Structure 1
Amino acid sequence: MAHPDDAEILCGGVLIRLGQLGWDIHIATVAAGDCGSDKLGPAEIAAVRKQEGINAAGSIGGTYHTLAEPDVNVVFDQATNRKAIDLFRQINPTLVITHPREDYMLDHEQTHLLARSAAFSFPIPNASPLPLPAGAHIPHLYYADPVEGRDPYTGQMVTPTTVIDVSDVIDQKAAMLACHASQRDWLRAHHGMDEYLEAMKRFGEHRGSLIGVDYAEAFRQHLGHAFPENDLLAKLLK
């Protein structure tokens, strides 16, 4: 994902459920989160948000990584693309979730390109100087909802291919998101309520209404050439 807390908001419930099945969970951000405060300087808030990312991932037995690119400056270029491919070489993912191609801010859209490129490229032997993991292959690739589920260019709600029930883990998802205290406290002070968690739950209820459950997360599967086409998320998390 682009920033610390994006994964927790958009797919934290699915990550929790996959972890319950014994999967190794990795949360990676392209950006450092250095614009996430109106009081702290870039280096200070980036350090805070990195620790929050570590804490959130650790709360579900996962591992946090960051490429530490500056906020609002995420770009798909040669250097950042190589960093993403190298990270995928180290993790050797089976299933990847990232932002959709069209979202409310360009950091998300550029992260989409980086994750999509790394997913396709990391199994290519000459794509990275790092050792090629045994059994490396193009992973299943899914796109989480854009923020608020809306296409930013049309204003219309996007139609998911896969909707996963996260009702049983919603409290754990909220606790995971609450690890990002710097963002929660800022919104709580600004709104006068715990909007950080409440907004996540409201949208989870909206997506849950699609399949008749209390809370859900929605995704679109990438079905381009060479990518797996069977819906692995739906198979694993009926």
Structure 2
Amino acid sequence: MTTPERTVALAFFAHPDDAEILCAGTLLRLKDLGWQIHIATATAGDGGSMTLPADEIAEVRQREAASSARLIDGTYHCLGERDVKVVFNERAIQKAIDLFRQVNPTLVLTHPREDYMLDHEQVHLLARTAAFAFPVPNVSDQPRPEGATIPWLYYSDPIEGRNPYTGAESPCSTLVDVSSVIDRKVEMLACHASQRDWLRAHHGMDEYIEAMRRHGVMRGEQAGTAYAEAFQQHRGHPFPQNDLLSELLGDQS
């Protein structure tokens, strides 16, 4: 097993609550191994309310995201982009690179290339670019961190685990058993009360939590466990080739 000298995980997603839905169990297991955890979002979730104005709901959702991160002794970051307006352009790329310079991640978890919402797909591009570029000396005015190197990069499931263009189940290279931390994952997701309450009122049930559980059970059946999270590892040149998540967490792939 190739064990990194630094153990810093960055979950970089589009919106507050994306990481909690898609990879919080894996973050919890890494935390239990002593890893430092960072959760970052491109937006503050300013589109996440039918009643509150953008700036007000953005403030609420950033507080919720920070509260969730604190449950894992993690740090929350926000790039300050706007919901449904995330664009893979020079400004956003620079923000992402600067974030990666600040965090200096060993391992990055992010959205897949194809997902139901274009904000997710744009963040996929930002994360992939920043992971490749942040060690390059001349790409940022932020200091190049000591030991900066291209991190392990994994893509989470798309929402509902299906390709939005074909409807086919999303492929995965790695299944992480999160059964032992599912209650803590629920606690993290429940921090996002503004979204949970809206769906609870609309559906008449705790759909926010139950949808996450259903997907975890589906992937768990594939892994032979109660709950699992799925990832596709990026193995393009010159990214690390060994499946670090499986090696660390002892899961099936």
Q: What TM-score, normalized by structure 1, do the two folds share? A: 0.99
Letter in 2 for 1:193: M
What is aligned with 1:192? Answer: 204
What is aligned with 1:91? Answer: 103
Whole-angstrom distance in 1 between the partners of 2:147 and 2:164:
38
Please list, as runs of the form range in 1=range in 2, the aligned pairs for 1:3-18 lying within 5 A after superposition: 3-18=15-30
Whole-angstrom distance in 2 between the partners of 1:223 and 1:214:
28
Whole-angstrom distance in 2 between the partners of 1:90 and 1:125:
14
Please list, as runs of the form range in 1=range in 2, the aligned pairs for 1:1-238 lying within 5 A after superposition: 1-238=13-250
Whole-angstrom distance in 1 between the partners of 2:89 and 2:43:
14
Letter in 2 for 1:126: N
After superposition, what is the alpha-carbon deviation per residue over 1:177-201, rounded to whole angstroms, capped at 9, x for unaligned? 0000000000000000000001000
Whole-angstrom distance in 2 between the partners of 1:45 and 1:206:
32
Give the number of aligned pairs.
238
Q: Secondary structure at the match of 2:85?
A: coil
Letter in 1 for 2:50: D
Once the two structures are TM-superposed, the CA of residue 211 in structure 1 deviates from its matched residue by 1.4
Letter in 2 for 1:166: V
Whole-angstrom distance in 1 between the partners of 2:83 and 2:172:
28
Once the two structures are TM-superposed, the CA of residue 31 in structure 1 deviates from its matched residue by 1.0
What is aligned with 2:5? Answer: none
Once the two structures are TM-superposed, the CA of residue 102 in structure 1 deviates from its matched residue by 0.3
Whole-angstrom distance in 2 between the partners of 1:135 and 1:188:
46
Q: Secondary structure at the match of 1:143?
A: strand
Whole-angstrom distance in 2 between the partners of 1:67 and 1:24:
20
Once the two structures are TM-superposed, the CA of residue 24 in structure 1 deviates from its matched residue by 0.4
Letter in 2 for 1:15: L
Once the two structures are TM-superposed, the CA of residue 158 in structure 1 deviates from its matched residue by 1.2
Whole-angstrom distance in 1 between the partners of 2:172 and 2:99:
28
Whole-angstrom distance in 1 between the partners of 2:178 and 2:127:
24
After superposition, what is the alpha-carbon deviation per residue over 1:120-154, rounded to whole angstroms, capped at 9, x for unaligned? 00000001111111110000000000000001111
Q: What TM-score, normalized by structure 2, do the two folds share? A: 0.94
Once the two structures are TM-superposed, the CA of residue 74 in structure 1 deviates from its matched residue by 0.2
Between the aligned residues of both structures, percent identity stands at 66
Whole-angstrom distance in 1 between the partners of 2:135 and 2:18:
26
Once the two structures are TM-superposed, the CA of residue 32 in structure 1 deviates from its matched residue by 1.4
Q: Which runs of 5+ in 2 are unaligned?
A: 1-12
Q: Which runs of 5+ in 1 are unaligned?
A: none
Whole-angstrom distance in 1 between the partners of 2:84 and 2:91:
17
Displaced runs of 4+ in structure 1, greater than 2 A? Answer: none
Q: Secondary structure at the match of 1:210?
A: helix
Once the two structures are TM-superposed, the CA of residue 108 in structure 1 deviates from its matched residue by 0.2
Whole-angstrom distance in 2 between the partners of 1:159 and 1:99:
13
